[in-house]
Structure 1
Amino acid sequence: MAKPPRKPSTSTSLIHHPYQPPATFAAPQIGVHKASTVLFTDTAAMRARDWKHKTGYTYGLHGTPTTFTLEERIATLEGGLQTLLLPSGLAAITLVDMALLGSGDEVLIPDNAYNPSKELARHELARFGIVHRLYDPMDPASVAAAITPAARLLWIEPPGSVTMEFPDVPALVQAARARGVLVALDNTWGAGLAFDAFELGADISMQALTKYPSGGGDLLMGAVTTRDEALHQRLKMTHMRMGFGVGANDAEAVLRSLPSLSLRYEAQDRAGRELARWWTQRPEVAQVLHPALEGSPGHDHWKRIAGAAAGLFSVRFDERYGLAQVDAFVDALRLFGIGYSWAGPMSLAVPYDLKLLRPAARGALVRFSIGLESVDDLIADCEQALATLTTSR
């Protein structure tokens, strides 16, 4: 007499349950696919599957439906063909540097660039024998002069971090092209909306998705987008070897935010310009640095290639106000958070000592990131906080 089939234990039944939900479910938002292990139907499928061209899944680090979808949407936003996701904007910069540079190579970085990018070059790249040169982004001739036969990569950052100078991007690209140097553009400020990095001649467009694509001030992520397949695969293999990956929940959060990206960018651009114009009328101010304002460094370059602008600007205070007074002004703000990053719903203010940013400059500067509050409320907040300039020393 045959034995009845053995009933598996409860734990085994829960792990190997036969039920599969129907595959016809559809909703506006893609599901969150979490995986380290990806299952194959058999060993032949395991050996045949290709992760490099998004034709299948092999391991969570190499992509899931959630991350593949975000990559494709960022590529569309940027006007590129392929995108790689990374755990931060700085990680995205690191990927580009590590994939394209080796011992004896040189990279050119604008002297007003995002400071962690310069620190990466000064310390980590230097340990690998990679030389970096800083150039004046407002002087394309300085780029041509700085390019040596060892140069392999030129970074462009429009506008400059904190001091907001907007370079002549086509002229910088032309200087690099004439010497066969690849161009990587930090498009975080432009967010794929203010201008098309590839139409301007860039080979790579990098973004900190932490900023406008996320929009919530609650996650970190970066992206590297290209149009050239060979360059993409070169970056992708370094991406794989360095073990870069992003969490599925973070990818899903960016996917949820992307449909409102244009609306938020436009609203924060409009509010930023209004508040920046208000600051130009204040007697406490020596200069307002906003690419969309006449007189701001590089305004004509911005006007020629962009038209849109992020909700980000800086105010340089008159030199009669010391750093302690400007710090007291920032402390007195009620609606502006004091914190790094930008593009979230809350407005932010960060004070800087100009001589630490530009050795030839003096005085105090405050960078403002405008969120989604009422502009009238933000103006009233700045006005009340300015009273501290005359009472603090």
Structure 2
Amino acid sequence: MTTHKNRQTLLIHAPRQAPQYIETIQPPLFRASTIIFKSTAHLFDRHWTDAYDYSYGTHGTPTTFTLADNIAQIEGGRYCLLAPSGLSAINLVNSAVLSKDDEVWVADNIYGPNLEHLKNLQERYGITVRIYNPIDAGSFQPTEKAKLIWLEAAGSVTLEFPDLKNLVKKAQQANVLTALDNTWGAGLAFNAFDFSDEHLSVDITVHALTKYPSGGGDILMGSVVTRDQALHHKLFRIHAIQGISISGDDTAQIQRSLAHMSLRYDQQTQNALTVLTWLKQQPQFAQVLHPSLPDSAGHVFWKEICTTDKSAGLVSVIFKPEYDLAAIRKFCDHLQLFKLGFSWGGPVSLVMLYDLKTMRSLKNTHLQQGLLVRFCIGLEHAQDLIQDIQNALKQLE
């Protein structure tokens, strides 16, 4: 063995190295672009479809594979790919599944950036985007060109819970792939890969790990989970071609937060239920939207599929028509505990205002007229949040 004496070389190739593995509460953090092969045999006797292909940082490290395995288990799937954000994970699915002249179906309450991405694909590649009513499976009428249907449970902003059973059944009969944005349920409210007595399953779940898995409002990441190996490899191929990768540090942070994700989810659910009970009694609101409410669209589907004590921390309200945009902005600006910002799932409660007239394509007879405000309930005490809303409402008198 050659002994290197130059100090510069010794700084890079240290003669002594501490043992690499000890048992700790949190798994070791690996930061890697280059991964060293032990020999040419290790270099050439491998394939990108191997369960743990340690070839380059974009393919994965023990840190990223550990989180991916845990997310797959939480979601009820077998295979998981990680992406830099929830939207990146959505775009990965669209890119892998859709081709020229294909037809894709999306719910009228779809996550807005997903729709924007699909419209871009429509303009550039001739993909046809069709809209369906998520609580009316009969509105989903796929043609022979249909390749993908996007599902959301619950829907973005207005929180309708879809008729998952019948939508998935129709998709399977038409040989259409089903992709569920499962960020709201977080893999905790129901098992998307086995959600009925008939053991119905979606094909793909997408999860914005930015929300409940992270829990801090400071990490961006997304996941794509499947059970079918061939479909996973199809997604993985595009994942590799597009150079999709994530930070080991961010991965370790989310892995650390998984241990208490369910506790946080349950607490935010309970806070939301307390707040919405109070909101229902306030005269300024024409409607309070939450899947657990019997008068909310899709409540019967939520009750049938979800664990009844898990309904996330999102609550939306529609103000009565006499309150114009200036009044709603004044209300939002006077909130103290609720901060004005996008996203949810973190410790701090958030608020955002929307004009549904600019967001929906179909006529929604279940929604009242008026401007909508969405509350993302955090981990503050529920009574303090109620007092904050009450104080802001007084500004409207």
- SS of the residue corresponding to residue 60 of structure 1 reads coil
CA distance in 2, matches of 1:270, 1:244: 36
Partner of 2:320: 318
Contact 1:50–1:58 (Cα < 8 Å) also in 2: no
1:167-178 pair list within 5 angstroms: 167-178=162-173
- SS of the residue corresponding to residue 309 of structure 1 reads coil
1:63-82 pair list within 5 angstroms: 63-82=60-79
Q: Any unmatched runs of 5+ in structure 1?
A: none
How many positions carry a matched residue from both structures?
Answer: 384
Give the C-alpha shift of residue 13 in structure 1. 1.1
Give the C-alpha shift of residue 69 in structure 1. 0.2
Judged with a 3 Å threshold, the aligned counterparts in structure 2 of structure 1 residues 129 and 356 are, in CA distance, closer, same or farther, namely same
CA distance in 1, matches of 2:389, 2:172: 45
Judged with a 3 Å threshold, the aligned counterparts in structure 2 of structure 1 residues 55 and 383 are, in CA distance, closer, same or farther, namely closer
Q: 2:89 aligns with which of 89, 92, 97?
A: 92
Judged with a 3 Å threshold, the aligned counterparts in structure 2 of structure 1 residues 45 and 318 are, in CA distance, closer, same or farther, namely same
1:1-393 pair list within 5 angstroms: 7-143=4-140, 145=141, 147-200=142-195, 201-306=201-306, 307=308, 308-358=310-360, 360=363, 362-390=369-397
CA distance in 2, matches of 1:364, 1:7: 72
Judged with a 3 Å threshold, the aligned counterparts in structure 2 of structure 1 residues 39 and 135 are, in CA distance, closer, same or farther, namely same
TM-score, normalization by structure 1? 0.95
- SS of the residue corresponding to residue 112 of structure 1 reads coil
Give the C-alpha shift of residue 49 in structure 1. 2.7
TM-score, normalization by structure 2? 0.94
Contact 1:54–1:68 (Cα < 8 Å) also in 2: no
- SS of the residue corresponding to residue 35 of structure 2 reads coil
CA distance in 1, matches of 2:133, 2:46: 47
Contact 1:207–1:222 (Cα < 8 Å) also in 2: yes
- SS of the residue corresponding to residue 339 of structure 2 reads coil
Contact 1:106–1:153 (Cα < 8 Å) also in 2: yes
CA distance in 2, matches of 1:210, 1:7: 46
Which amino acid letter does the alignment assign opposite residue 179 of structure 1?
A: A
Contact 2:221–2:246 (Cα < 8 Å) also in 1: yes
Kindly provide the CA deviation profile for residues 198-248 of structure 1, in whole angstroms up to 9, marking residues without a partner as x. 113201111000000101100110000001111111111111011101000
- SS of the residue corresponding to residue 193 of structure 1 reads coil
CA distance in 2, matches of 1:244, 1:195: 28
Return structure 1 stretches of 4+ with deviation > 6 angstroms. Answer: none
Contact 2:331–2:392 (Cα < 8 Å) also in 1: yes
Give the C-alpha shift of residue 273 in structure 1. 1.0
Deviates most, 265-274 or 349-358: 349-358
Partner of 2:198: none
Contact 2:318–2:369 (Cα < 8 Å) also in 1: no
Which amino acid letter does the alignment assign opposite residue 319 of structure 1?
A: P
CA distance in 2, matches of 1:19, 1:69: 28
Contact 2:102–2:128 (Cα < 8 Å) also in 1: yes
Contact 2:86–2:208 (Cα < 8 Å) also in 1: yes
Contact 1:88–1:220 (Cα < 8 Å) also in 2: yes
Give the C-alpha shift of residue 125 in structure 1. 4.6
Give the C-alpha shift of residue 389 in structure 1. 1.2
Deviates most, 38-47 or 98-107: 38-47
Which amino acid letter does the alignment assign opposite residue 237 of structure 2?
A: M
